[in-house]
Amino acid sequence: MLEWFQANGRDLPWRATRDPYPVLVSEVMLQQTQVSRVVPRWEAWMRRWPTAESLAAASGADVIRAWQGLGYNRRALALWKAARIVSAHGWPDDLTELPGVGRYTADAVACFAFGQPVLPLDVNVRRVLARSGMEFGPDAAEALMDLGATVCLARIPRCGECPLANGCRSRGRRFEPVRKQGPFEGSFRRRRAVALRAVAEGRDPADPDAVAALARDGLVEIHGRSARLPA
């Protein structure tokens, strides 16, 4: 696996650091977002806010504006709140105490930044482990992620390119498609995104239901008949 990774691993910018802050930013951005979309946004984010302290000093409005286009905007506020906690108190021993950090994200930061002996189980890692029936330690984490993302694909895995093929119990199988999320166009998620962009640009969102939902999530503040981004 490690030999395969040396020759075939993805060159991702956040893999060049063991600083927990940029690792956390990458993991939060990667939640339900394609790597190809995240890379340029992560690089721009890190140029603007290179440390947890710099992000903590930003306004919520600037953070939300910078996040536009990545989707699931609550992630931006959670990341900002986490940076404020880290800036004030340091990194907690239990990373799930940070806003927006679940078990996988905590394990990823613990493994990739703090060198803790834990294997982060994202969807790609789980797929490789389940199909192969093999066990791996934390040293193989990035290799497993890349294998699942580029070779051991969800429906039609590329078994001929897989370094585990000879011992894999699922070699040659095809798999039913996993149920996908509903289309974005025409959905309430789309309406929320359009309304939030309008507020960020100082326009009337003209969608009170979407604005109310954004307010419940803390993404906008309602003042009289107008909405604005949080301070």
pLDDT above 90: residue 187 = no
The residues, ordered by sequence, that sit 6+ positions from 86 with a Cβ below 8 Å of its Cβ are 21, 52, 56, 98
Determine the Cα–Cα distance for residues 141 and 204; give it in Å rounded to an integer. 46
With beta carbons less than 8 A apart as the criterion, state whether 170 and 131 touch: yes
Phi then psi for residue 18, to 5 deg, are: -120, 15
**Structural domain includes residue 8:** no
> 34-43, 97-106, 175-184: which has the minimum mean pLDDT?
175-184
What would the two tokens of residue 159 be?
């078994």
Does 101 lie in the same domain as 36? yes
Give me the domain span that covers residue 101: 19-112
What pLDDT band is residue 179 in, cutting at 50, 70 and 90?
Answer: low
Please name the helix (run of DSSP H) or strand (run of DSSP E) that holds residue 106, with its range, or none. Answer: helix 103-112
Does 142 lie in the same domain as 97? no
Name the residue with tokens 């969102």. 205
43 is catalytic: no
Determine the Cα–Cα distance for residues 133 and 29; give it in Å rounded to an integer. 30
pLDDT above 70: residue 181 = no
The fraction of the chain above a pLDDT of 70, given in percent, is 96
Does 125 lie in the same domain as 157? yes
> 86-95, 159-168, 185-194, 200-209: which has the minimum mean pLDDT?
185-194
Query: Following CA atoms 58, 64, 67, 69 in sequence, which dihedral angle do they give, to the nearest 10 degrees?
Result: -160
Q: Which of 180, 196, 212 finishes a domain? A: 180
| Whole-number pLDDT of residue 88 | 97
**Structural domain includes residue 214:** yes
What pLDDT band is residue 104 in, cutting at 50, 70 and 90?
Answer: very high
**Structural domain includes residue 156:** yes
CATH number of the structural domain spanning residue 98: 1.10.340.30
Model confidence pLDDT, tens digit, residues 20-56: 999 999 999 999 899 999 999 999 999 999 999 999 9
**Structural domain includes residue 7:** no
Q: Can you give the pTM of this predicted structure?
A: 0.89
| Whole-number pLDDT of residue 32 | 87
Q: Spot the catalytic one: 3, 27, 53, 201.
A: 27
Rounded to the nearest 10 degrees, the angle between the axes of helix 20-30 and helix 103-112 is: 140
The residues, ordered by sequence, that sit 6+ positions from 135 with a Cβ below 8 Å of its Cβ are 129
If you average pLDDT over every residue of the chain, what do you get? 93
Determine the Cα–Cα distance for residues 83 and 67; give it in Å rounded to an integer. 15
What would the two tokens of residue 173 be?
């199988």
What pLDDT band is residue 178 in, cutting at 50, 70 and 90?
Answer: low
Reduced to 3 states (helix: H, G, I; strand: E, B; else coil), residue 14 is helix
**Structural domain includes residue 3:** no
- Between CA 209 and CA 215, with CA 212 as vertex, the angle to 5 degrees is 155
With beta carbons less than 8 A apart as the criterion, state whether 221 and 77 touch: no
Does 25 lie in the same domain as 107? yes
What would the two tokens of residue 211 be?
């604005």
pLDDT above 80: residue 77 = yes
CATH number of the structural domain spanning residue 171: 1.10.1670.10
